[in-house]
Structure 1
Amino acid sequence: MARKAAGYDAGEKDTVEYLTKLFEAAKFEIQREMDLGDRPRFDLVVSREELGRYRKFVVELVLVQDARGLVDKYEQLVSYSRSRKVQDIDEYWLVSNLSLPDRPRIHRSRFPNVRAFTVKELERMLARLSPKRSAPKGKAKTKIGKAIEANEKEIVLAIEGLMLQVNDKLAKLRDERPNDPDAVKKKDDAIAEFEDMRAELERIKVAVQQLKKNEVKEKDVVQTVTTFKDTIGKWWNKNHDAICSTASNSALFLTATGLLHAIGADSTAALTIAGSLIGGETVAKALKALPRSLFKKEH
């Protein structure tokens, strides 16, 4: 990623300051790259605790008059993210006054860790994360309901993040061209499995948002979440070896168990994994040590 030219346009500098205030209101920790020298690499590096761990995001601001000028900027960010020059960055965000044009050569679904927002879109997203001063007293009776009351915004973001991983998995599966009939059936079964998973995540997202507005019964939300938990349990039991040996499957499974833990649907799976990793085990070794009967009713 090329470093920025020395000096900042006044409009860009003011916008960076404005974004900094938005991130601070949403409880992000801020590192302003422009304060580190005359030739910064990025405008902002921000971090925030999500699902028990700190995630770091690079923010690159580009103000343009023609949206087509964003295409090269986006591709430069993709190239930089793939170079892994900075190892601890979770996502790269391109923020602009205009929307990134849809171009076939961009293949945005293939790079879920590189995202593009307009300033207005980022405002809305960060506003959802900003804590409210007066939260109403909770009425939920179940563990799942209480978790949603306490952390609805974080849970919705976690759902959206997991959906991105599922979409990426589906895109890669659909690109496969197996010839063997058994391999074709295996691919079709996997696509159906992940499509069902995505549909259940969408239902959970809607249910979570409706519960906060008292538009759905708590027991119905619990059932929706439990259905997804059962789906993840069946996927684990059926594809245990593939989940342990494939990086994308391992990452998706870890995110799913983290979501279940955040939403109050499961603690054993997430805590067992976390305990193994804290103990120094690799992800693959930690997963292989987990029993197939890992999932049980805990709500």
Structure 2
Amino acid sequence: MAKRVKEPSQREILASIRKTTEKERVEEAEFERQIAALFEAANWSASRLPDGGRTRPGDLLVKRNDLGRERRYIIDAVSEINPPRLRQAFEDFRHSIEQKKEPDFDEYWLVGQYFIGEPMRKMPRNDRRFRALDLKQLRELLAIPKPKKSKASTRLGKAVLANEKEIYLAIAGLILQIEAKLEALRGELPNSDDGQSRVAREISGFERMKAELERIREMVAAFKKGKAPDQEVVKATKTFRQGVEEWWTNKSGEILTSTAKGAILVSSVGLLALMKADSVAAITAVAAVVNGGAIEKAKKIGRAMKRIGKQALTEEAR
């Protein structure tokens, strides 16, 4: 005779749910934002619900118009759907129904990234106002295709996929170097017309370089999200590389005698190398800086700026 499995008590169910770790809560908050984005992509409206306890369970209220009537759905986002969570969610749903003569929602959905403990009843007591869905089922219900992974058709695109974090760091550090140089130039107050024209030209050149870097960063992000082909990254990077090469061709003497400019050149070619977009001309320019003795100071500045850039990216991610 098969041994009867003891059903968990209400206290055991609650204790199991309370064991949710801080990490799981963060993951569920991120999953909640992902679910809201899916509904919005399907032209539903989604809003965050305040914590209402058992009288108002759920994380999101989503709405849509159906034949001229507004339908409202309570969404409870969880990292995984297991038997204790399913039972507790259904009991909270029933409690909220019983507390109100006219519930202010049509259905209650428990949505998780996946199911654990199959088989299980996904519609307890056959109540059609309650259902449990995993992420795949929700996508199918909303008719949202699974996002496509970015595909690289170029050497540069493959390098971006392989070195994405390093590329972002290199761009951030290089932009900081350029901003420091711009600040120094704006602090110069030459008296002569020639001096003022020189400063204005340099400021214009570094501002253009900064804008080109920001464009590369924008195109890399769009490519990674599948919103732009890698040819757009190639185009933006080619523009930047040509600018660097022209700068060296026209201003090599100034670059060789300026530690800051030498550092910017070295960092620029380093970025191009990360993206597999460096050229003979760019490498030759760096070799000239090395032979000119400016490389050690340039390296020190480059390392310092890289650390600052990494810190800036961390703070931006917060």
TM-score by length of 2: 0.43
Structure 1 or 2, whichever has the larger Rg, is 2
